[in-house]
Structure 1
Amino acid sequence: MSDSPVQQNTRPEAAAATTQLSGILRRVGMIGDMIDRSVGNADHPLRIQIERFDGPVQAVIDGRQTTLFGTNSYLGLNFDPRCIAAAEQALRQWGTGSTASRVASGNQDGHVALERTIAKFYDRPDAIVFSTGFMANMGTICGLASDGDLILYDSHCHASIIDACRASGATFKPFKHNDPVDLDRLLKEATVPASRILVVLEGLYSVWGDVGDVKGLATVAKDHGALVFVDEAHGLGLYGDNGRGVTEAQGAEHLVDAIVGTFSKSVGVIGGYCVTMHPALKSLRFLARAYLYTASLPPAVVASARTAIEIIASEPGLRAEMWRKAERFCLGVEALGYSLCAAPGPVGSIRMRGLVQGMDFWRDLLARGIYVNLLIPPATPAGEVLLRFSVSAAHTDADIDKFLDIMREMAPRAISA
């Protein structure tokens, strides 16, 4: 693997045009030029285009048959025949889109039925469906917290949570990742009543692939009297006896006031939701601008999501199959000498020694028919360069063997100092 500098941008006219700009356009243009110089003109993540899907984890990219280890289809439900049939039926009956928000004419029978299915799945009195997972975080956090409140969030939280904190009008501060002691310190130092503090964390963090200390952090928060919010976007369908996420797996559901999740991972479509345990939180429907002012989910998506959640609830064997393959793959990668950021799980990251190695490694894998995600700063903790992978129940043992064989061939170049 080459240690030579990444190919330089060969479009001098673009850089010259940027120097003639000013203000906002110049700043944005300079960022674009910097990205081009960093990644060069060959294949890179910003230009990848999937030409055809042949199943939940098989696709054609640039004419190459490719196995996707960078998809969030943890259970393969985006190609489940039952989900597709439900979507097709809804498409014929209800058309292609809702054309309005939930509070206008976009509140259809399917949306209400989906919310009831989610509430039953979580054994909670209510659920609210949003049009994306990003909007679920935005709408819920902004609906709960406002000027005069304090949000304390885990420093590894997703960008949607950070944006929601900024938009809420509340004061917000990070606590050290997965650190109940640091959270306790911030709660003790708070100058607002605990009843006006919202503690935000995640069940499964998707950059490193590490599990959140939901029970430990929620216990500290509740000892002070704060509200607790957990994002289970990547934990839904994968953790807990019923597949409700890390919060369930750690026996912490009674400590959590609001759980948010997304349909774009295990459920296989798009959308998000919030489930609550407090009757007072039904007012979120009127306080969450991301709910009030966004067109509701298309009927086909709603029908598929409902079917997928029913499958997750009734077929634990699918979850067990994903775990068997995830542990087999992760342990195989570690045995080859690579450094993983977390214990074996459905999503994880392999540490690279810098952008050049990470980019070369990513391109070599793609050329051999394996797609993973390349993560670079500032989207990663501590400025790390990572290759993020995800494992699906839809992967075959042959898929995993192929990936491990390639990793074995590349190990001498990738691991050596």
Structure 2
Amino acid sequence: MALFDKFGKLAQERAALVQAGLNPFGTRIDEVFSPTEGRIGEWRVVLAGTNNYLGLTFDPECIEAARQALEHEGTGTTGSRMASGSYGSHVALEAELADFFGRRSAIVFSTGYLANLGVISTLAGPGDIVLLDADCHASIYDACKLGGAQVIRFRHNDVADLERRMLRLGEPARNALILVEGIYSMLGDQAPLKEIVEVKRRLGGYLLVDEAHSVGVLGAHGRGLAEELGVESDVDIVLGTFSKSLGAIGGFAVSHHPEMELLRYASRPYIFTASSSPSSIASVRAALRTMRARPELRERLWSNARRLYQGLAGLGYRVGPQPSPVVPVLLGSSEEGVAFWQRLVEHGVYVNLVPPLAAPGGQALVRCSVSAAHTPEQIDHIIQAFASLRASFDGVIAKA
């Protein structure tokens, strides 16, 4: 078999998508007018699939900070953090993140994916055990594969299943790494973190929480689910990203364990990757200041999230298990999902299409993500677009 023959089926599926019209897995947003509006081809759309939770991508202070960094530090570092790519601004951001989370130290990575890859694969190697929620993000699975640890999955948000598996492990469970997320990116539901912490207190283990979708979203100060539930001291490591609430690109890890600093000398995704550009770091620092100073952004986000969740549920759509800035709508087959997604674009709404292979439950879904920058009128426009499609797609809408 030739090298590229393995992609034959994928090529056929892609060709079918292109022939049908817009490709939902390679959409080109031709113009971006604001955090919530853009143009796809001939359609002006409300952007409701961007994870721009606090709407900071066009924040004047973030843009000005990035502009100044470009002028004074250039377009990139052209080196890894261990070589020539650790600037004063990288170190300053790490200090600010550690202060924000109340942790001993922070490590900044070039992307959120690399943060997961770099921390998890380095901590959990051959001979170690990882217990992870079955619905964890692909980057967490990739990290476990790279590290070579023994991986034990427990059923999504099923604390009893986690406990059974830890009891079966016996003494080795005391050194296992438990991996969960604050808000899960597909269904928008939250980890039962209090209950998981209780299991950890009794049976041991180290708890790592990926707060990528919950930083800036949950907690009195926006530190995520652990803050929301009052269990921060029981979480050993928090991972997160700058590409959601903080409106840029990059990732981070924070911890109170002094040994975490040794990852800088052992983590290959940290050592051998070019560091974030100065402009990106500067905009993140400005966004972090804004997030801390403006809790009303979080309040506006949740007002919009509840408005959309309740509106879509009221139309009879099957949505996620709880209100969240991530609002999924479960559909049928991949083909039906593509058709539904295409019609939404034509009605002026851009969301994400998730095919059955990547969606929990094996059904296609469209995934809306809400922003504090959305106006009530834009939220109502999204609801009206779904209402317009309700009758014609009634047969493909997943039933509870």
Match of 1:308 among 287, 309, 328: 287
CA–CA separation in structure 2 for the residues paired with 1:120 and 1:176: 34
CA–CA separation in structure 2 for the residues paired with 1:403 and 1:281: 44
Amino acid at match of 2:203: H
Do 2:56 and 2:287's aligned partners in 1 also have CA atoms closer than 8 Å?
Answer: yes
1:83 matched to which residue of 2? 62
Deviation of 1:382 (Å): 2.2
Query: Any residues of structure 2 matched to 1:144-163 within 5 Å, and which?
Result: 144-163=123-142
1:279 aligns with 2:258: yes
Query: Any residues of structure 2 matched to 1:286-305 within 5 Å, and which?
Result: 286-305=265-284
Deviation of 1:191 (Å): 6.0
Deviation of 1:357 (Å): 2.5
Residues 35, 190 of structure 1: CA spacing in aligned structure 2 closer, same or farther, 3 A cutoff?
Answer: farther
Give the gaps of 5 or more residues in structure 1.
Answer: 1-21
Query: SS state of the match for residue 47, structure 1?
Result: coil
2:376 matched to which residue of 1? 397
1:69 aligns with 2:48: yes
Do 1:239 and 1:248's aligned partners in 2 also have CA atoms closer than 8 Å?
Answer: yes
Residues 50, 378 of structure 1: CA spacing in aligned structure 2 closer, same or farther, 3 A cutoff?
Answer: same
Deviation of 1:247 (Å): 1.3
Match of 2:359 among 360, 380, 385: 380
Query: Any residues of structure 2 matched to 1:54-65 within 5 Å, and which?
Result: 54-65=33-44
CA–CA separation in structure 2 for the residues paired with 1:214 and 1:300: 35
CA–CA separation in structure 2 for the residues paired with 1:159 and 1:166: 11
Query: SS state of the match for residue 120, structure 2?
Result: helix
Do 2:210 and 2:240's aligned partners in 1 also have CA atoms closer than 8 Å?
Answer: yes
Q: Which runs of 4+ in 1 moved over 4 A?
A: none
Deviates further, 139-148 or 228-237: 139-148
Deviation of 1:410 (Å): 1.7
1:239 matched to which residue of 2? 218
Deviation of 1:38 (Å): 6.0
| Alpha-carbon displacement from aligned partner over 1:111-142 (angstroms, at most 9, x marks no partner) | 00000111111011100000000000000101
1:27 matched to which residue of 2? 6
Deviation of 1:188 (Å): 1.3
Q: Percent identity?
A: 41
| Alpha-carbon displacement from aligned partner over 1:71-109 (angstroms, at most 9, x marks no partner) | 110111111000000000000000000110111111101
Amino acid at match of 2:185: S
CA–CA separation in structure 1 for the residues paired with 2:179 and 2:347: 40
2:311 matched to which residue of 1? 332
1:133 aligns with 2:115: no
2:181 matched to which residue of 1? 202
CA–CA separation in structure 1 for the residues paired with 2:184 and 2:370: 15
Match of 1:184 among 163, 181, 188: 163
Do 2:25 and 2:353's aligned partners in 1 also have CA atoms closer than 8 Å?
Answer: no
Query: Any residues of structure 2 matched to 1:250-261 within 5 Å, and which?
Result: 250-261=229-240
1:318 matched to which residue of 2? 297
Do 1:145 and 1:170's aligned partners in 2 also have CA atoms closer than 8 Å?
Answer: yes
1:174 aligns with 2:153: yes
Deviation of 1:192 (Å): 6.0
1:104 aligns with 2:83: yes
Query: SS state of the match for residue 207, structure 2?
Result: strand
CA–CA separation in structure 2 for the residues paired with 1:393 and 1:288: 36
Deviation of 1:341 (Å): 2.0
CA–CA separation in structure 2 for the residues paired with 1:107 and 1:356: 47
2:328 matched to which residue of 1? 349
CA–CA separation in structure 1 for the residues paired with 2:263 and 2:391: 54
Deviation of 1:41 (Å): 3.6
Deviates further, 209-218 or 240-249: 209-218
CA–CA separation in structure 2 for the residues paired with 1:192 and 1:158: 28
Alignment coverage as a number of residue pairs: 396
Do 2:242 and 2:249's aligned partners in 1 also have CA atoms closer than 8 Å?
Answer: yes
Amino acid at match of 2:132: Y
Deviation of 1:173 (Å): 1.4
Deviates further, 117-126 or 56-65: 56-65
Do 1:39 and 1:359's aligned partners in 2 also have CA atoms closer than 8 Å?
Answer: no
Residues 126, 338 of structure 1: CA spacing in aligned structure 2 closer, same or farther, 3 A cutoff?
Answer: same
Amino acid at match of 2:42: G
Do 1:152 and 1:175's aligned partners in 2 also have CA atoms closer than 8 Å?
Answer: yes
Amino acid at match of 1:55: S
Residues 341, 264 of structure 1: CA spacing in aligned structure 2 closer, same or farther, 3 A cutoff?
Answer: same
